[in-house]
Amino acid sequence: MPDVSVGSQIFDIAFHPTHCTAYAALLSGKVKAITYDHQGRNKESFSVSVSQRSCRGISVNGDGSNIYVVGKGKALHTIDTATGKHAQTRAKAHEVPINRVRHLTSWLLSTGDDDGVIKLWDPRQKESIRKYTHHFDYITDFLWLDDKKQLVATSGDGTLSVMDVRSKNIKPIAQSEDQEDELLSIVGIKGSTKFVVGTQIGVLSIFNRSSGWGDCVDRIPGHPHSVDTLCTLPESFTDVDATSTILTGSSDGFVRAVQIFPTKLLGVVADHGEWPVERVAIGDANDFLDLEEEEEEEITPVAKKRENDDGKSPDARWWVGSVGHDETLKLTSLRGFFDGENGGDDEEEGEGEGESEGDGPMSGEEDEEEETDNRADNEAKPSDPEDDDDDDDSDSDSPAIPTKRKRKTEKNPLMAVKRKKGRNEVEVEGRFFDDL
């Protein structure tokens, strides 16, 4: 779990589609490229100053040849990833600072500013090709639906909108009702038939494509703070159901892995301490770059076995990049997390979190029966101090015979119960998913 210090707060990150390189947009107005290898070792590839003001958004095109950068300077910058130099600058692309940029196709990209204005750009042309003004607050995120050639945008005005880029109409084809909360992020799940939207109050709003975009069809509470960023898992990732599992970045500093339908907290992928999580992205390390100045580390037998199975080192296949306000790019092995190397339990604590927390359909009834038996035994004989500690590790001041209500709360599989930390493991706040 290497941490890469970049010397300035990071607003946005993006990964090269084929190379082991992450690009960071910084508060200082610079863009830095970080090259890493399959063991997480890293070095700075290039650093280029694109503006005297902060860079807020960054996006990489399909083949990774160019990166697009926007920020407070109101310009749209294009950087050649091969040389690390400016390829083009569109000054005054917007009238106000630009908050988000997204590469859509080889002939199209989108930008959104602080006033809610969305512009479409052809990289081959100097001026924008279309402008949308139906939002009145800042644009927070974009989602591209390739099958319908539609662009979905979320805004701080509490609505999301859908634009058909093939149409010359400057009005959206659909816009949701006011959700009475800032919509901060959006991703598609279940093959883009459903969409998860992160909100300011910490609720995940679910939109169903077949039901239209007028209103959400479900709301999933649980995050104690705002959900500022969302990220889907790669389709080829087989350790979990990638179509219904997402990563959430919250202002409480945690990057969580959450399964949707059924809703389940899988664990904490990364911990930024007291700093809010700004962005989360996943990089695919298709090629393995050996950093010459570093000595190659020995691969364990377990890693070798998985490398033979996958054809790749497990830690090199997928890296989760997350950034907060701590001037650090945190890289976490996605495969390592789900294998228990970064976020899982120790062997002595059980095979997995679901098993140890009792998330089977009958786990609640089994817990009640076991508790009833224990209570009968306690009433029949004097209590032993060691037995009292085993009954309730979370509160040493509680009575020897815990109440049924408290016992059931601790066994709730959707809660992240505080327990002994495993190797390289972070603690999860106990309030998570309390309201479900």
Q: What is the pLDDT of residues 157-209, one digit of tens each?
A: 999 999 999 999 999 999 999 999 999 999 999 999 999 999 999 999 999 99
- pLDDT at 366 exceeding the cut of 90: no
Q: What is this structure's pTM?
A: 0.75
Number of domains in the chain: 1
Whether 387 is in a domain gets the answer no
* Residue 353: inside a domain: no
Does any domain span residue 341? no
376 located within any domain: no
Q: Using alpha carbons only, how large is the chain's radius of gyration in Å?
A: 24
- Calculate the dihedral angle through the C-alpha atoms of 348, 351, 356, 360, rounding to the nearest 10 degrees: -160
The larger pLDDT score, comparing residue 373 to residue 138, is at: 138
In a domain? residue 419: no
Residue 132, pLDDT score: 97
SS (HEC) of the chain: CCEEECCCCEEEEEECCCCCEEEEEECCCEEEEEEECCCCCEEEEEEEECCCCCEEEEEECCCCCEEEEEECCCCEEEEECCCCEEEEEECCCCCCCEEEEEEEECCEEEEEECCCCEEEECCCCCCCCEEECCCCCCEEEEEEECCCCEEEEEECCCCEEEEECCCCCCCCCEECCCCCCCEEEEEEECCCCEEEEEECCCCEEEEEHHHCCCCCCEEECCCCCCEEEEEECCCCCCCCCCCCEEEEEECCCEEEEEECCCCEEEEEEEECCCCCCCEEEEEECCCCCCCCCCCCCCCCHHHHHHHHHHCCCHHHHEEEEEECCCCEEEEEEHHHHHCCCCCCCCHHHCCCHHHHHCCCCCHHHHHHHHHHHHHHHHHHCCCCHHHHHHHCCCCCCCCCCCCHHHHHHHCCCCCCCCCCCCCCCCCCCCCCCCCC
pLDDT tens-place string over residues 5-48: 999 999 999 999 988 999 999 999 999 999 988 777 889 999 99
State the residue range of the domain holding 47.
3-291+315-336
What percentage of the chain exceeds 70 in pLDDT?
A: 70
pLDDT at 364: 42
pLDDT of residue 435: 55
pLDDT at residue number 413: 37
pLDDT band per the 50, 70, 90 thresholds, residue 320: very high
- The enclosing domain of 18 has a CATH number of 2.130.10.10
pLDDT classification of 286: cutoffs 50, 70, 90:
low
Dihedral angle over CA of 269, 274, 276, 277, nearest 10: -20
Which tens digits make up the pLDDT trace of 260-269?
988 999 999 9
Q: Is residue 392 part of a domain?
A: no
Distance CA 433, CA 293 (A): 46
> Rounded mean pLDDT of 349-368?
39
- Residue 362's pLDDT is 36
Q: Strand order of the sheet with strand 150-155?
A: 139-145, 150-155, 160-164, 174-175
Task: Establish if 396 belongs to a structural domain.
Answer: no
pLDDT one-digit tens code per residue, 108-163 = 999 999 999 999 999 999 999 999 999 999 999 999 999 999 999 999 999 999 99
416 in a domain, yes or no? no
Question: With pLDDT > 90 as the criterion, what percentage of the chain qualifies?
Answer: 60
